[in-house]
Copies of this chain bind each other. A is one copy, B any other.
């Protein structure tokens, strides 16, 4: 069943290609966020590395996925919720990064508090990243 992926692609005015379907499907099936490496591994030899880069880029531009800040070097991508439109600053997320297994969780139910900024500063997006140990990895 990959209807959902196709519908999402069409909704965002993207051609429906094999690569896009498979990668989007992978996101839909994954609980957390994915790095480029995760996807490359999962897809095996099926697609060129370059294609994956470009697909992720496209998805970000169209507002299908968004990037999650992290202190380590890896860019993580996660599905946007429906109300998340391209170009706009999205709804602000709270993310949890497990230091043990490396999984990134989107904590949708927790809301990001408003931060009071110094004069002259304008907030556009607020990212809150909590790192620690997730429920699967606790001793």
Q: Which residues of A does B touch, CB under 8 Å?
A: 67-73, 75, 94, 96, 99, 107, 110, 113, 115-136, 138
Copies in the complex: 2
Majority-rule SS of A interface residues: loop
Q: Assess whether A133 is in contact with B121, with CB atoms less than 8 Å apart.
A: yes
Task: Give the residue of B71, B99, B131, B133 whose beta carbon is less than 8 angstroms from that of A68.
Answer: B71
27 A/B residue pairs, CB under 8 Å, sorted by A: A67-B71, A67-B72, A69-B69, A69-B70, A69-B71, A71-B75, A72-B75, A73-B73, A94-B115, A96-B121, A99-B124, A107-B115, A107-B117, A110-B115, A110-B117, A113-B113, A115-B130, A117-B132, A119-B135, A120-B134, A121-B134, A125-B130, A125-B132, A126-B129, A126-B130, A127-B131, A128-B128
